[in-house]
Amino acid sequence: MSAEHDRLYKAAIAEWSDAEQIALTRLAMTQDEFDTRFPVLRDGFLADNEESRRDGTAYGMAVQGAVRNMDMINCFASFLPRAVPDQRKDLAKIGRRIAALYYLEQMYKAEQLGMAFAAQGLKRVDAMWRFAGLLCD
């Protein structure tokens, strides 16, 4: 990796670390708690479980803006794990967590604006969340 790419890679990780800490503080969770609880919440949301939908909406409202856009997810969930193979698992875990936070935002939008509005965003972020999970193995 070139010196410029290394600098950008480290800057991206530092930027994400700050945003992640703010989001986890708002959720009153640790990384491990979030990593454990999100898949259960996601499964419940997809199964149209009322409690999961309510919690997903509340969490999504709390983390609004933590993930700037899908490019951030693509960078950490797809590009960086393959570009920096010796850090593949760690970067994929970060990517999966970024996707999970964005997923929460999409859950919030689905409840507030309707599923038809959020359906495409939910499908895209679900695919990236699952893909990053494969790279974590």
Q: Residue 21: which pLDDT band, with cuts at 50, 70 and 90? A: very high
HSE (CB half, 13 Å, CA atoms) of 57? 14
Average pLDDT over residues 119-131: 88
Task: Tokens 């919690």: give the residue.
Answer: 55
Domain span at residue 37 reads: 3-136
pLDDT of 49-104, one tens digit each?
999 999 999 999 999 999 988 888 988 888 888 888 898 899 999 999 999 999 99
Q: What is the pLDDT of residue 2?
A: 80
**C-beta separation of 9 from 80 below 8 A:** yes
Put residue 64 in one of left, alpha, beta given phi > 0 → left and psi -120 to 50 → alpha.
beta
Number of domains in the chain: 1
Q: What is the pLDDT of residue 32?
A: 95
Q: What is the pLDDT of residue 97?
A: 94
